[in-house]
Structure 1
């Protein structure tokens, strides 16, 4: 399950180190191409609302196979894109279909006991975050060596192979819910209205992920300016620095199991804010960027694991719908963070990006504190 999460989610993040290459290839400005990550995140938010609830109606294995094949088609569309408009549609389609991890996570929660759930989800999240980070390494290296289109041709082939592997490797499950699709969508609204813990988790998750996306959507532009003058390869290699966040996911799950999610969430949001403070003060030094990336990834990943651990027990028969509310808000936050980061970079440079990231981290901490005090 962790491997399937890693391979599928990586398709959402291939574009980030390649933005400069895509701009040159398509003959557009860096400002125009900087919004491609936003389209991917927006597509994922819609996919979360439209497709993930189907996991409570149909066997999840078949849905996962279908989405893997759909990602393959989206990657081919991106590889063939002749202009920015087509690339934007392909980016949106990639996000729309790259929801495989959010079908797998409720599936894993169903197969584990409450005592082990945090650790198991942490292990799967390690695979997911490793996919996010290593996708950047892969796309940066391949993009500089073979061109950015080669990244998507390779991705299309990998996703077709993954679909066949998932069909053979995952067990068949029976859906837990008995609602129809439209009733399911209405019940999502009901869950949102009646579950304050779900609302708090969704908003804090969306804000921290927005802070995460503000950084990664603009890193390639920072690295292309003085004093760095780096390209896609170096931007991709920064993914290796963030592997520390993947390594800490099981630990975050254990802390959540033992100390409760509130403590874990407070600490991890603190790491997120601290990471952005490091970016602000020392972002024009390579060592400062490295330290900031580690702190940011530790914070966002740990908060995500703690949030998911606390929402799944709220309504066991509706885990896919709970995940829909949480992850839809999560990726709306990512889309807003990507767009806000791109806007801030184009208008105010790196200090503006840091202001955007810090504001999202502080807002997440404030919302979590207000919710806890009630």
Structure 2
């Protein structure tokens, strides 16, 4: 099997497709209150929709995404987007919270092509690899952050079921286009599936930097997802009583934060990795303190969202810089380890956030957010100390 050349439209299509697919994990967050009202579910039961979507994505990252090194990526990607299409279509007709939770799990698995397209963009590019990967990653970020805006607006205008129905149509369109325009790339891994997973797991033991980055990513993204899930309940409750569309508009602030985050990547490029991480995680802590001290100030909530998103996304960019320098020929599997931990942290953070909200409302929710972010800062300190000890040992 030979590598086929790619069309000029391929990279923009990959960026758009990555955003269209990954957005499906986040569409549910601003409309949880609507789902709860329509199905008669409690806030805790509705919160499981987000948890199971994140869990499906995390498991798909570990068990499915590594197959990109073994199978025809075009067929793997379009097979997963087909699963996503049917799951979304069924979700738009689901009547019970149990059906919605189950289908959300499969939506999570079907949304994983974003993490196959990202390393694939590096494979097909030559001299402009950084620019190409950056375009696809930008598509992922816009999909993640824009999902809340779109979901809130569509839910208010047409109803929450149309969020999933319209998304199913978009997924069907990109599936057809991906099959038409993605190049065929010969698989590099010739071993069995168990050997593929085994080689991925071995990377965890081989690289301490990977372990540190994965753990940090889990806690920072867990904080991020816990915040956005509990924010929906907070803003829709007294005294604010915000609609889904108004809640979703806060995603626009998050997009601005994500666009500012790459500026912190320059610190990592200059070798100032831990200075960057201390700064970005500290921004997350400051944002949560503002949420706790001023729970009903919309101005300070907006500032907090901006700081939180800059902090979390900049931490991710710095972590990517760290792990991709470890093994030039194992980017997909390094990405699998990191992103699996990342989204398992998201699932756990969402679950803890919902539980905290049930037991103590916004006050308890912000306490657990603060705990997660402080643990993240401790991980940065521990990693910096471990690195300072390792450098003299190597000299």
TM-score normalised by L of structure 2: 0.90
9, 12, 34: which one aligns with 1:21: 34
Match of 2:167 in 1: 155
> 1:59 Cα shift?
3.0
Alignment partner for residue 129 of structure 1, among 141, 155, 167? 141
Matches within 5 A, 1:210-359: 210-359=222-371
Shift of 1:179: 2.5
CA contact (8 A) 1:218 1:342 kept: yes
How many Å separate the matches in 2 of 1:90 and 1:222? 26
Deviations 1:70-119 (A, max 9, x none): 211111121121101110001111111111221122223334579963x6
**Unmatched 5+ stretches in structure 2:** 1-13, 387-395
Deviation at residue 260 of structure 1 after TM alignment: 4.6
List gaps (5 residues or longer) in structure 1.
none
The alpha-carbon deviation at position 42 of structure 1 amounts to 0.7
Q: Deviations over 1:282-327 (max 9, x none)?
A: 2311111111110111011111111122212322222221111111
Partners of 2:213 and 2:204 lie apart in 1 by 11
2:95 is paired with a residue whose SS is coil
- Name whichever of 101-110 and 33-42 sits farther off: 101-110
Deviations 1:27-62 (A, max 9, x none): 222232122111111111110111011011123232
Equivalent of residue 181 in structure 2, options 165, 169, 173:
169
Distance in 2, Cα, partners of 1:359 & 1:121:
33
Name the CA shift for 1:235/1:151 in 2 (closer, same or farther; >3 Å).
same
Please say if 1:82 is aligned against 2:56: no
Shift in Å at residue 181 of structure 1? Answer: 1.0
Correspondence 1:29-44 to 2 at 5 A: 29-44=42-57
Q: Deviations over 1:185-234 (max 9, x none)?
A: 11122111111111111000010000001111111110112231112111
Judged with a 3 Å threshold, the aligned counterparts in structure 2 of structure 1 residues 63 and 264 are, in CA distance, closer, same or farther, namely farther
Alpha-carbon distance change, 306 to 122 in structure 1, aligned in 2, over 3 angstroms: farther
Residue 107 (structure 1) aligned with residue 116 (structure 2): no
Residue-by-residue CA offset, 1:1-37 (whole Å, 9 max, x unaligned): 3222211111111101111111111122223212211
Residue 201 of structure 2 is aligned to residue 182 of structure 1: no
Equivalent residue, structure 1, for 2:68: 55
Asked whether the 8 Å contact 1:122–1:253 carries over to 2, the reply is no
Alignment partner of 1:218: what SS? helix
SS, match of residue 14 in structure 1: coil
SS in 2 for 1:317: coil
Tell which structure's C-alpha radius of gyration is larger.
2
Q: Report the 3-state secondary structure (helix = DSSP H, G, I; strand = E; otherwise coil) of the residue aligned with 1:127.
A: helix
Q: CA deviation at 1:120?
A: 4.9
User: What is the match of residue 68 of structure 1?
Assistant: 81
Matched residue SS, 1:315: coil
- Retained in 2: the 8 A contact 1:143–1:151? yes
Q: Work out whether residues 271 and 296 of structure 1, in 8 Å CA contact, stay in contact via their aligned partners in 2.
A: yes
- Note closer, same or farther for the CA distance 1:368–1:113 as it changes in structure 2 (3 Å cut): farther
- Scaled by the length of structure 1, the TM-score of the pair is 0.94
